[in-house]
Amino acid sequence: MSTMPEWLPPLVLFSDYNGDWDVYLEAIYAYFRQDFVDSKPVFRGKRLGLKRHPLANGKEATFWHMIQQGDREADRVPDFRRCERIRWPKPIIEHDGDEVIKVWWNQRRGERRICLWFEQENYLVILADRGEYILPWTAYLVEQPHRQRKLQREYEEYCRNRGRKG
């Protein structure tokens, strides 16, 4: 089994907060604030903004996208695996040059997106390229083998089209 990169923080476990959702939510939000609100992260020289609206319970839309799952905004529910990894998106973004992170651009719903895939843990961070700035969009575990294969094919095709090895 591979070792985790030294720059990757540990998981933030629900059990460490005695199963108290409200306390846990505030703790993971504090990590999110520290990484994306209070600091000024960059990706390859471009500043990272935030999708702030719609605010829900005083927390930015990007936060909810990083800890919830679901296709329809109104029906999204917490995903504890996403919550546990709330500290991972920023260091993955900051270590995009590390060989354990596969990075490529694609088009999704008419927008230019940047994929950062920490394949060893099947964790994907999605950024939206808005030209002058970058928006952290979402981050989640890719658990389905067919989806993992699709990401691998997409990455390899991107690399072939760029004249690089995949």
Residue-wise pLDDT for 24-77, tens only, equals: 999 999 999 999 999 988 999 999 988 766 667 888 888 998 998 876 766 678
Q: How far apart are CA 1 and CA 5, in angstroms?
A: 13
One-letter identity of residue 113: R
pTM: predicted TM-score of the whole model, two decimal places: 0.90
Long-range residue pairs from 122-125, CB within 8 A, at least 24 positions apart, any chain:
122/148, 123/85, 123/88, 123/92, 124/151, 125/88, 125/89, 125/92, 125/93
* Other C-beta atoms lying within 10 Å of the C-beta of residue 140: 19
